[in-house]
Structure 1
Amino acid sequence: MAAGTTGLICDSSALVDSGRAVRFEITGPDGKPQPAIALRYQGRVYGYVNACRHIPIELDLEDGNVFDLSGQYLVCSMHGALYLPNNGRCVSGPCRGQSLQALPLYESDGKVWLNIMPD
């Protein structure tokens, strides 16, 4: 992303409660691109590095479907680990008790932004 304090992810309307996530990339600590997701749950937006804590593979295997059928959990499509959408904590599966890496997202003027330099 360009220099500055924020990066545009998507229009707010692109995120529907418990719907498809919007995929984007961030720059990892090693300077390489990392997959990330933005999602909406119970009216709020959340962002996470798109990597399961068990084996660092993308939760959705490229299509944005990160919620389970109930719409209450994020699910790793590879081996079924379940995460709480509002804090990324794994509640079922081989990585139980670990959490997805959260990203600082916010909404403003109908857009979802990544705070690149959080306070």
Structure 2
Amino acid sequence: MNETSATRELNIRMTYLRLIADAVKTVEVRVGYPKVRRIRAGESLVFVSGDVRLVTTVKRVTEYASFDAMLDHEDARSIGGDLGESRDGLLSVIRGIYPPEKERLGVFAIEVEPTSIEGAGAA
């Protein structure tokens, strides 16, 4: 399979998977692990939580030096839904997931569009 038609999988908490499925959360935030650095626009990206698989299409991938820089350019509500009402609250949640040493790997904003959802908990 070539890079442009690759399908990649990422684990995600069910709360965030549901927000993406409902098109409330359109931007997924990750740090620059090698697997994340290979994601490209046009690819399928599958989010997995338990037995639920949410297939999305990657619309855009943007790298930032820090979470602060990302929040200077991205719509916080697209990242965190209701959490995006408070920049500080959203930043606290993100930094609770990714400590400073992970943030130093680079911050990626991955804009996605849901296409299908599968699994027993999908309904």
Tell me the TM-score normalised to structure 1 length. Answer: 0.26
- Structure number with higher helix proportion: 2
Tell me the TM-score normalised to structure 2 length. Answer: 0.26
- Structure number with higher strand proportion: 1
